[in-house]
Amino acid sequence: MQTVYDFHGQQFNGEKKSLEDYAGKVLLIVNTASACLFTKQFKSLEQLYQKYKHQGFEVLAFPSNDFYGQEPMTGFQLETFCRINQQVTFPVFKRIHVIGNYCDPLYQYLSNLYQNGKFDAKPRWNFHKYLIDKQGKVADYFYSFTSPKSNRLMTKIEQLIAAQ
């Protein structure tokens, strides 16, 4: 059975970053966009990251333009938006497709029951969240309207951090 560690993200400098580099950590993988009603979640995601990062937690952002063109930026412009405008310090990767014919292999895995063994849950919009356990397996998912500061999400993160 595959895990998220079998995939990679492309960094803004063009280098591939293996998700295996995050082995043993609890991950929240989120498809983001800069021109969306949910863009304000960047700040909440950063707060969540700051709260749990020293306990083995990472937020990984994958910008996508798949939902009504709400992520028109690419490259340096997109990186600047995330780092300076939104002040995020967690990893943000290059823009990818999260649905459709050109869906990135990571998102094919995350959203397909036959690949991840747990859920059939394609993103319906920007800021769809996948929670990954320390073994690199999909543990849960949360729709866009679930705040990163929701009790349900934070409780699940805490349970996964505490798990051996």
Please count the residues of the chain: 164
6 touches 135 (CB < 8 A): no
Distance, CA of 11 to CA of 114 (rounded, Å):
28
Determine whether 36 is an active site residue. Answer: yes
- C-alpha of 161 from chain center: 17
Strands (E), the chain: 8-10, 16-18, 26-32, 57-63, 129-132, 138-142
Choice among 6, 12, 23, 36 that is catalytic: 36
Contacts 24+ apart (CB under 8 A), 144-147: 144/38, 145/38, 147/41, 147/44
Catalytic residues: 36
